[in-house]
Amino acid sequence: MDTIKALLQPQDCALLLVDFQAGLAFGVESSARQVIVQNAIALARTATTFGTPIVVSTSASRVYSGPLFPSLQAVLPGVHPIERRNMNCWEDDHVREAVLATKRQRLLVSGLLTEACVSFPVLSALEAGLEVFVVADACGGLTPDGHQLALRRMEAAGAHMTSWLQVLLEFQRDWTRHETYEGARSIVESNGGGYGMGLTYASEMLQPAQSPIPAAVPPA
Protein backbone atom coordinates (compact mmCIF):
# COMPACT_ATOMS: atom_id res chain seq x y z
CA MET A 1 0.00 0.00 0.00
CA ASP A 2 1.17 3.54 -0.78
CA THR A 3 2.24 4.91 2.61
CA ILE A 4 1.47 8.53 1.70
CA LYS A 5 -2.09 7.71 0.61
CA ALA A 6 -2.62 5.48 3.61
CA LEU A 7 -2.13 8.50 5.86
CA LEU A 8 -4.65 11.29 6.21
CA GLN A 9 -3.94 14.51 4.37
CA PRO A 10 -5.98 17.68 4.98
CA GLN A 11 -6.64 18.28 1.29
CA ASP A 12 -8.39 14.89 1.04
CA CYS A 13 -10.65 15.26 4.08
CA ALA A 14 -13.84 16.92 5.32
CA LEU A 15 -15.04 16.98 8.93
CA LEU A 16 -18.61 16.32 10.07
CA LEU A 17 -19.53 17.34 13.64
CA VAL A 18 -22.89 16.05 14.83
CA ASP A 19 -25.09 17.17 17.75
CA PHE A 20 -22.61 18.67 20.15
CA GLN A 21 -25.46 19.97 22.31
CA ALA A 22 -26.06 19.99 26.07
CA GLY A 23 -29.37 18.12 25.93
CA LEU A 24 -27.61 15.15 24.36
CA ALA A 25 -24.45 15.45 26.44
CA PHE A 26 -26.56 14.97 29.58
CA GLY A 27 -27.02 11.32 28.55
CA VAL A 28 -23.35 10.59 27.84
CA GLU A 29 -21.84 8.02 30.19
CA SER A 30 -19.18 6.42 27.97
CA SER A 31 -16.47 8.79 29.23
CA ALA A 32 -16.13 12.23 30.82
CA ARG A 33 -18.35 14.71 28.96
CA GLN A 34 -15.94 17.60 29.32
CA VAL A 35 -13.10 15.53 27.86
CA ILE A 36 -15.21 14.63 24.83
CA VAL A 37 -16.10 18.28 24.26
CA GLN A 38 -12.48 19.38 24.63
CA ASN A 39 -11.42 16.70 22.16
CA ALA A 40 -14.06 17.92 19.71
CA ILE A 41 -12.77 21.48 20.11
CA ALA A 42 -9.21 20.28 19.42
CA LEU A 43 -10.46 18.41 16.35
CA ALA A 44 -12.33 21.48 15.07
CA ARG A 45 -9.29 23.68 15.61
CA THR A 46 -7.18 21.11 13.75
CA ALA A 47 -9.50 21.17 10.74
CA THR A 48 -9.50 24.97 10.77
CA THR A 49 -5.71 25.18 11.03
CA PHE A 50 -5.23 22.87 8.06
CA GLY A 51 -8.03 24.27 5.89
CA THR A 52 -10.20 21.16 6.04
CA PRO A 53 -13.90 21.89 5.30
CA ILE A 54 -16.22 21.53 8.30
CA VAL A 55 -19.92 20.68 8.28
CA VAL A 56 -21.82 21.01 11.57
CA SER A 57 -25.31 19.70 12.23
CA THR A 58 -27.64 20.07 15.21
CA SER A 59 -31.07 18.64 16.01
CA ALA A 60 -34.02 19.70 18.18
CA SER A 61 -32.06 22.75 19.27
CA ARG A 62 -35.18 24.72 20.23
CA VAL A 63 -37.20 21.98 21.91
CA TYR A 64 -34.75 19.77 23.80
CA SER A 65 -31.09 19.63 22.83
CA GLY A 66 -30.12 23.29 22.98
CA PRO A 67 -27.69 25.11 20.69
CA LEU A 68 -24.26 23.99 19.60
CA PHE A 69 -21.88 24.21 22.58
CA PRO A 70 -20.73 27.84 22.74
CA SER A 71 -17.14 26.71 23.37
CA LEU A 72 -17.21 24.76 20.12
CA GLN A 73 -18.96 27.50 18.17
CA ALA A 74 -16.26 29.92 19.38
CA VAL A 75 -13.58 28.06 17.41
CA LEU A 76 -15.86 27.85 14.35
CA PRO A 77 -16.81 31.52 13.83
CA GLY A 78 -17.59 31.13 10.12
CA VAL A 79 -19.47 27.82 10.39
CA HIS A 80 -23.23 27.74 10.91
CA PRO A 81 -24.89 24.54 12.16
CA ILE A 82 -27.40 22.91 9.85
CA GLU A 83 -30.55 22.14 11.85
CA ARG A 84 -32.37 18.91 11.01
CA ARG A 85 -35.09 16.58 12.29
CA ASN A 86 -33.79 13.17 11.23
CA MET A 87 -31.52 11.23 13.60
CA ASN A 88 -29.44 10.24 10.58
CA CYS A 89 -28.00 13.51 9.26
CA TRP A 90 -27.05 11.74 6.01
CA GLU A 91 -30.78 11.45 5.30
CA ASP A 92 -31.13 15.22 5.62
CA ASP A 93 -30.69 16.71 2.14
CA HIS A 94 -28.96 19.87 3.37
CA VAL A 95 -26.37 18.07 5.50
CA ARG A 96 -25.64 15.40 2.91
CA GLU A 97 -25.32 17.96 0.11
CA ALA A 98 -23.03 20.12 2.26
CA VAL A 99 -20.70 17.15 2.82
CA LEU A 100 -20.74 16.11 -0.83
CA ALA A 101 -20.19 19.71 -1.95
CA THR A 102 -16.73 19.60 -0.33
CA LYS A 103 -15.80 16.99 -2.97
CA ARG A 104 -13.64 15.24 -0.38
CA GLN A 105 -13.64 11.44 -0.41
CA ARG A 106 -12.41 11.04 3.16
CA LEU A 107 -14.88 12.01 5.87
CA LEU A 108 -13.93 12.50 9.52
CA VAL A 109 -16.90 12.15 11.88
CA SER A 110 -17.41 12.91 15.57
CA GLY A 111 -20.44 13.67 17.67
CA LEU A 112 -23.13 12.63 20.13
CA LEU A 113 -24.49 10.02 20.54
CA THR A 114 -22.29 7.22 19.20
CA GLU A 115 -25.12 4.68 19.13
CA ALA A 116 -27.31 6.74 16.79
CA CYS A 117 -26.42 10.19 15.44
CA VAL A 118 -22.79 9.17 14.85
CA SER A 119 -23.17 5.58 13.67
CA PHE A 120 -26.15 6.19 11.36
CA PRO A 121 -24.47 8.76 9.07
CA VAL A 122 -21.20 6.83 9.18
CA LEU A 123 -22.91 3.67 7.90
CA SER A 124 -24.79 5.69 5.27
CA ALA A 125 -21.68 7.56 4.10
CA LEU A 126 -19.83 4.26 3.76
CA GLU A 127 -22.70 2.92 1.67
CA ALA A 128 -22.46 6.05 -0.49
CA GLY A 129 -18.81 5.25 -1.24
CA LEU A 130 -16.94 7.61 1.09
CA GLU A 131 -13.98 6.52 3.17
CA VAL A 132 -14.97 7.31 6.75
CA PHE A 133 -12.82 7.89 9.83
CA VAL A 134 -14.56 7.98 13.21
CA VAL A 135 -12.72 10.19 15.69
CA ALA A 136 -13.68 7.94 18.56
CA ASP A 137 -12.34 9.99 21.46
CA ALA A 138 -14.46 12.92 20.25
CA CYS A 139 -17.65 10.83 20.36
CA GLY A 140 -19.86 10.07 23.34
CA GLY A 141 -22.26 7.21 23.93
CA LEU A 142 -25.07 6.53 26.40
CA THR A 143 -23.05 3.77 28.05
CA PRO A 144 -19.48 2.47 27.74
CA ASP A 145 -20.78 -0.79 26.26
CA GLY A 146 -23.11 0.97 23.85
CA HIS A 147 -20.30 3.26 22.68
CA GLN A 148 -17.93 0.36 22.10
CA LEU A 149 -20.53 -1.77 20.33
CA ALA A 150 -21.36 1.11 18.00
CA LEU A 151 -17.67 1.63 17.23
CA ARG A 152 -17.29 -2.09 16.50
CA ARG A 153 -20.29 -2.07 14.18
CA MET A 154 -18.96 0.91 12.23
CA GLU A 155 -15.51 -0.65 12.02
CA ALA A 156 -16.98 -3.94 10.79
CA ALA A 157 -18.78 -1.98 8.05
CA GLY A 158 -15.47 -0.47 6.91
CA ALA A 159 -14.98 2.69 8.98
CA HIS A 160 -11.56 3.48 10.41
CA MET A 161 -11.15 4.36 14.09
CA THR A 162 -8.83 7.20 15.05
CA SER A 163 -8.29 9.96 17.64
CA TRP A 164 -8.14 13.75 17.35
CA LEU A 165 -4.42 13.79 18.14
CA GLN A 166 -3.65 11.19 15.49
CA VAL A 167 -5.56 13.30 12.95
CA LEU A 168 -3.50 16.36 13.88
CA LEU A 169 -0.20 14.49 13.74
CA GLU A 170 -1.05 12.91 10.37
CA PHE A 171 -2.01 16.32 9.00
CA GLN A 172 1.16 18.00 10.31
CA ARG A 173 3.47 15.04 9.66
CA ASP A 174 6.60 17.17 9.97
CA TRP A 175 7.18 19.84 12.62
CA THR A 176 9.24 21.85 10.11
CA ARG A 177 6.05 22.62 8.12
CA HIS A 178 6.12 26.27 9.14
CA GLU A 179 2.77 27.31 7.67
CA THR A 180 0.84 25.16 10.17
CA TYR A 181 3.43 24.77 12.94
CA GLU A 182 2.16 27.47 15.28
CA GLY A 183 -1.47 26.43 14.98
CA ALA A 184 -0.74 22.74 15.45
CA ARG A 185 1.63 23.37 18.35
CA SER A 186 -0.95 25.55 20.12
CA ILE A 187 -3.63 22.86 19.83
CA VAL A 188 -1.34 20.14 21.20
CA GLU A 189 -0.17 22.33 24.05
CA SER A 190 -3.78 23.14 25.00
CA ASN A 191 -5.29 19.68 24.62
CA GLY A 192 -2.48 17.14 24.33
CA GLY A 193 -2.02 16.26 28.01
CA GLY A 194 1.49 15.17 28.89
CA TYR A 195 2.57 15.31 25.24
CA GLY A 196 1.41 18.92 25.11
CA MET A 197 3.32 19.70 28.31
CA GLY A 198 6.43 18.18 26.75
CA LEU A 199 6.00 20.28 23.63
CA THR A 200 5.70 23.43 25.74
CA TYR A 201 8.81 22.46 27.70
CA ALA A 202 10.80 21.74 24.54
CA SER A 203 9.69 25.01 22.98
CA GLU A 204 10.87 26.99 26.01
CA MET A 205 14.14 25.09 26.40
CA LEU A 206 15.11 25.41 22.73
CA GLN A 207 14.79 29.19 22.69
CA PRO A 208 18.17 30.94 22.41
CA ALA A 209 19.53 31.59 25.86
CA GLN A 210 19.80 35.24 26.80
CA SER A 211 22.71 36.18 28.99
CA PRO A 212 21.68 37.89 32.23
CA ILE A 213 25.12 39.62 32.34
CA PRO A 214 25.26 42.94 30.46
CA ALA A 215 28.01 43.47 27.95
CA ALA A 216 31.13 45.16 29.32
CA VAL A 217 31.22 48.90 28.92
CA PRO A 218 34.27 49.96 26.95
CA PRO A 219 36.65 52.28 28.78
CA ALA A 220 36.24 56.02 28.17
User: Measured at the alpha carbon of residue 207, what is the angle toward residues 203 and 208, in degrees to the nearest 5?
Assistant: 170
Our separate counts of H helices and E strands in the chain read: 10, 6
Burial zone of 91 (CB within 10 Å; 0-12 exposed, 13-18 middle, 19+ buried): middle
- In sequence order, the β-bridge partners of residue 84 are 59
Given the residues 13, 89, 117, 139, the one annotated as active site: 117
Cis peptide before 113 (omega within 30 of 0): yes
Question: Using CA atoms, how far apart are residues 87 and 77, in angstroms rounded to an integer?
Answer: 25
Is the torsion defined by CA of 22, 69, 29, 135 positive or negative? positive
Q: Which of 20, 8, 19, 12 is nearest to 52 (CA)?
A: 12
b vs e for 10-31, b when ≥16 Cβ sit within 10 Å of the residue's Cβ? Answer: beebbbbbbbbbbbbbeebebb
Question: Using CA atoms, how far apart are residues 162 and 171, in angstroms rounded to an integer?
Answer: 13
Burial zone of 96 (CB within 10 Å; 0-12 exposed, 13-18 middle, 19+ buried): buried
Is 139 annotated in the active site?
no
Query: Looking at the annotation, which residues are catalytic?
Result: 117
